[in-house]
C-alpha cells in the first residue's frame, strides 16, 4: 500500500492580531519540518467500526482523522468513502509528538483527506479540501496546501504561500503535555497585547531566517509567556537561542551544520 507523509510544522513567529468571539485572530509563519513526519497508509481491517491503528492517547471519536472522515462524508455523501472505511483501516506510524505545537494531529487529518480524495477520485480541489479541513481544526488548511512555508492569518483559514528556501530545523520536544485552549486563555487574561496591522504586514514580508535572527523567543511567539505562566516546568527546558512553536511544548532552531 502506498505510504503518505504527514509533515510536522513549526511557527517561525506567531502574533495575535485581535479576537473573533472566543477565537484569537493571528498572523503566523508556518514552515514545514522536512525531517519529521508521520506515515499513513490503508491496510485491511482487523476489527469492526472505524479503525485507526497507531500510538494515540485519545479515543477514535476524538482523533482528528476520524473527525476528518466525518467532515468529508458530510461534505461529499460519498458511498465509496463509507465502503472504503468498512473494508480498510487507516494505519499511522507516529513520529510527531502530540501536544507539542508541531501540528501532528492537523497534518494527519489533512493527509487522510488528501489520501481519500486521491484513492476515491473525489475530484475535490485544494480549496474545497481546506474548507472541509477547517471543520476539523484551524491548522489543517496549511497542510492541505502542501506549502513549504506560508503566512497563516485570520483564525487559520487564510493560508498564503511564502516563497523562501526551506530552513533545516532542529526540534526538541520536552515531555510536557500542553493544552492549547489553556494557553490562549492565559494569554487573554494576562498578556493580551495584539499587534497592529502595520506590524503584521511587516512580519508577513520578512523571510523566516531574518525573523529568527532579529527576534527573541518571546518577541517571536506571543504564546511563549502564557505557556511559561501555566507550565512553570517549561523554563527548565528553554535554552538561549531556541524558539517556541505554537502553544508548545516544542522548541526549535536553525540547524547548525558547523557542529553537525
Residues labelled catalytic = 9, 139
Q: Which residue has the cell 514545514?
A: 32
Angle at 87 between CA 82 and CA 92, to 5 degrees: 95
Cell of 189: 487574561
Residue 158 grid cell: 487564510
Report yes or no: 24 and 184 within 8 Å, Cβ to Cβ.
yes
Q: What distances in angstroms separate CA 141 from CA 34, 46, 110, 111, one per listed residue?
A: 18, 31, 7, 11
CB atoms within 10 A of CB 25: 16
Bridge partners, residue 11, by sequence: 30
Amino acid at each position: 500500500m502506498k505510504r503518505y507523509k504527514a509533515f510536522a510544522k513549526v511557527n517561525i513567529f506567531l502574533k495575535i492580531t485581535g479576537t473573533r468571539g472566543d477565537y484569537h485572530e493571528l498572523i503566523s509563519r508556518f514552515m514545514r519540518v522536512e525531517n519529521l513526519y508521520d506515515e499513513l497508509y490503508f491496510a485491511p481491517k482487523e476489527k469492526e467500526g472505524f479503525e485507526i491503528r497507531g500510538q494515540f492517547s485519545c479515543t477514535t471519536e476524538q482523533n482528528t482523522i476520524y473527525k476528518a472522515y466525518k467532515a468529508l462524508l458530510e461534505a461529499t455523501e460519498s458511498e465509496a468513502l463509507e465502503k472504503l472505511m468498512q473494508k480498510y483501516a487507516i494505519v499511522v506510524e507516529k513520529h510527531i509528538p502530540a501536544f507539542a505545537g508541531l501540528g501532528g494531529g492537523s497534518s494527519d487529518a489533512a493527509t487522510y483527506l488528501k489520501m481519500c480524495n486521491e484513492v476515491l477520485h473525489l475530484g475535490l480541489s485544494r480549496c474545497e479540501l481546506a474548507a472541509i479541513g477547517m471543520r476539523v481544526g484551524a491548522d489543517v488548511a496549511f497542510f492541505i496546501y502542501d506549502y513549504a512555508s506560508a503566512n497563516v492569518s485570520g483564525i487559520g483559514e487564510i493560508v498564503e504561500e511564502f516563497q523562501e528556501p526551506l530552513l533545516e530545523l532542529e526540534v526538541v520536544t520536552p515531555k510536557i503535555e500542553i493544552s492549547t485552549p489553556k494557553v490562549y486563555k492565559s494569554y487573554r487574561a494576562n498578556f493580551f497585547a495584539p499587534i497592529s496591522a502595520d506590524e503584521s504586514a511587516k512580519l508577513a514580508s520578512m523571510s523566516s531566517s531574518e525573523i529568527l535572527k532579529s527576534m527573541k523567543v518571546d518577541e517571536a511567539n506571543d504564546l511563549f509567556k502564557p505557556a511559561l505562566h501555566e507550565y512553570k516546568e517549561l523554563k527548565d527546558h528553554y535554552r538561549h537561542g531556541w524558539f517556541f512553536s505554537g502553544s508548545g511544548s516544542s522548541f526549535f532552531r536553525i540547524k547548525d551544520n558547523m557542529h553537525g
